Amino acid sequence: MKTILKLLFSLVLLALGNSLKAQDLCSKNPKYCKLLSDTAGVKMMLITLPPGAKLSEHTHPVNMGYVIKGGLYKWTYTSGKTESADLKAGDSFHGGPETPHHSWNAGKTTLQFVLVEKQE
């Protein structure tokens, strides 16, 4: 039931849209981001980060994701605030829109997840 509620909440967030102009994650980080689909205003990407790999500064519109390979993921906002998450395979997440930040794999194993974003 909890998973269904998370999914429904994520879909509602996607439907609401966002107010920030998001930067394209894959064009800014082609080494770590593969565009899987870009249709009907929804973009799906595969993010693969080896240990220590860092994504350049970017933003996100409303988004959700699914973790394929877990690990320690950290991100720092331009405000200086840093957050982290110990992601496990099978975890899902949602959020956004997000202000400028950069993120990196702070763990010792490759981190991989599918990221879905609603485009403007």
Structure tokens at 28: 């800014």
pLDDT of residue 63: 92
Domain ranges of the chain: 2-118
Domain 2-118 belongs in CATH node 3.30.360.10: no
DSSP string for residues in 20-33: S----HHHH-TTTE
Q: Which amino acid is at 12?
A: V
Count of Cβ atoms closer than 10 Å to residue 4 Cβ: 8
Instruction: Note down pLDDT in tens along the chain; length 120 residues.
Output: 556 545 444 444 444 343 344 568 888 899 999 999 999 999 999 999 999 999 999 888 889 999 999 999 999 999 999 999 999 999 999 987 888 999 999 999 999 999 999 986
Radius of gyration of the chain (CA): 14
Of 103, 112, 115, 106, the C-alpha closest to 69 is: 112
- pLDDT attached to residue 19: 37
Q: Give CA–CA dist 92/64, Å, rounded.
A: 7
pTM for the predicted model, two decimal places = 0.78
